[in-house]
Amino acid sequence: MQREQRKLEHIKYALELGDGPALTHFADLRFVHNCLPEVNPTDIDISVTLWGKRLRLPFFIDAITGSADAVTKINSKLAQVAARCGIGLAVGSQYGAVCKGTGIASYKVVREENPQGLVFGNLSALATPQQALAAVEMLQADALELHLNAAQELCMAEGDKNYAGLWQNMQQILDTLPVPLIVKETGCGIAREQYEKFLAAGFSAFNCAGSGGTNFPAIEVRRRGEILAADMAAWGVPTCWSLLDGQIVPKEKILFASGGIRSGADVAKAFALGADAVGITGPVLRKLMESGVETTVKYLDDLANEFVNYLLLLGCKTPYELRRVPLIITGATREYIDCRGYNLLKLCHGRRA
């Protein structure tokens, strides 16, 4: 019951607290307008294909719910939204389900509602290889998100503070899984040093999940009736910066963007920085809880149409062509580029080649 209550509180406080206070720093990026786009809107195709499955819209609903029978209806509706929109869906952590058999129905309903869709399982990187296999089997998952959430666990009263042996454990899971493994942060971003380590060990899919969106450390502190200190509340690698660090991920591998992506402009900037698809959670959950499936579907379709407008203005027929659109990079992000020793001119003109 304790785990189930925690999952319900995550939903409650995610909606109550909203985004931030960290910034994604997408505001530091500006596109250079193309006055001669030479594109017919009917020729624009924003669909993407991941592991053999086509997404009509280049989005997926990222992880937040699960492991509680009370959220079965929520996951059912999220799966309906995903099926209607033609997008992917990642469930929340299945750790309770694979360890104690709790809340299994809240996960299985996702595949029941969306039998042909792209579905990601989700487990802590502390899980065993056997538990990872069980999580995949439970959903007939197309891939498994293995989440890293040290900051969240640190702020969680009942959190696991011992990460000794984590690296070896992740490698064992990678060697065991029959489906792709996605290394996912939980709102604090992946930095270049960790991308390098993962790539050298054979990992090939990443969800940057940077800071600027749902703040899980703040949620955990609020669960015990307190407010997170300002410095810790702003902890992490902003989504924009994590994608810049992710330029070292080869284009044949997968880089997902999530963390505070809220507008068509954000989506366009994420793709310009090399994203293969974009995860959106907070606004989807809020729309669903407040207004239901139809309104949520409309929200995602409207977001996609807004994204298409940016493609048209920039003369791009696909999201991936945004990687070659000139960018103006200013503010703290330009300072970040300098501090990290990146080639500013190259980033302004071409990314994740």
pLDDT greater than 50 at residue 300: yes
What mean pLDDT is predicted for residues 98-107?
A: 90
Q: How confident is the model at residue 8 (pLDDT cuts 50, 70, 90)?
A: confident
Q: How confident is the model at residue 216 (pLDDT cuts 50, 70, 90)?
A: confident
Q: Give the whole-number percent of the chain exceeding pLDDT 90.
A: 79
* pTM for this model (two decimals): 0.95
pLDDT greater than 50 at residue 278: yes
Report how far residue 213's alpha carbon sits from residue 24's, in angstroms, rounded to the nearest whole number.
Answer: 7
Strands 327-329 and 277-280: unpaired
pLDDT at residue 66 in the model: 67
Q: Measuring CA to CA, how many Å separate 178 from each of 104, 216, 338, 339?
A: 21, 30, 41, 39
Q: How confident is the model at residue 65 (pLDDT cuts 50, 70, 90)?
A: confident
Sign of torsion over alpha carbons 32, 33, 39, 43: positive
What mean pLDDT is predicted for residues 256-268?
A: 98
Phi-psi region of 334 (alpha: psi -120 to 50; beta: other; left: phi over 0): alpha
pLDDT at residue 1 in the model: 43
Written as six digits, the tokens of 95 are 């750790």
Please give the single-letter amino acid code of residue 219: I
pLDDT at residue 6 in the model: 66
List the single range of 72-76, 103-107, 215-219 with lowest mean pLDDT: 215-219
pLDDT at residue 215 in the model: 86
pLDDT greater than 50 at residue 228: yes
85-102: pLDDT as tens digits: 999 999 999 988 999 888
Residue that wins the pLDDT comparison between 110 and 63: 110
List the single range of 9-13, 251-255, 337-341 with lowest mean pLDDT: 9-13
Q: How confident is the model at residue 220 (pLDDT cuts 50, 70, 90)?
A: confident
pLDDT at residue 224 in the model: 85
User: If you compute the radius of gyration of the chain from its CA atoms, what whole number of angstroms results?
Assistant: 19
Please give the single-letter amino acid code of residue 252: E
Q: Bridge-partner residues for 211, per DSSP?
A: 238
pLDDT at residue 227 in the model: 87
Phi-psi region of 63 (alpha: psi -120 to 50; beta: other; left: phi over 0): beta
Q: Are 8 and 62 in contact (CB under 8 A)?
A: no
List the single range of 84-93, 96-105, 241-250, 289-298 with lowest mean pLDDT: 96-105
Residue that wins the pLDDT comparison between 151 and 42: 42
Q: How confident is the model at residue 4 (pLDDT cuts 50, 70, 90)?
A: low
Candidates 59, 62, 70; CA nearest to 91 is 62
116-171: pLDDT as tens digits: 999 999 999 999 999 999 999 999 999 999 999 888 888 787 778 888 889 999 99
Q: What is the mean pLDDT of the chain?
A: 93
Report how far residue 132's alpha carbon sits from residue 124's, in angstroms, rounded to the nearest whole number.
Answer: 9
307-334: pLDDT as tens digits: 999 999 999 999 999 999 999 999 999 9
pLDDT at residue 67 in the model: 64
List the single range of 32-36, 93-97, 134-138, 242-246 with lowest mean pLDDT: 93-97
Q: What is the DSSP string of 233-260?
A: HT-S-BHHHHHHHGGGS-TTSEEEEESS
pLDDT greater than 90 at residue 71: no
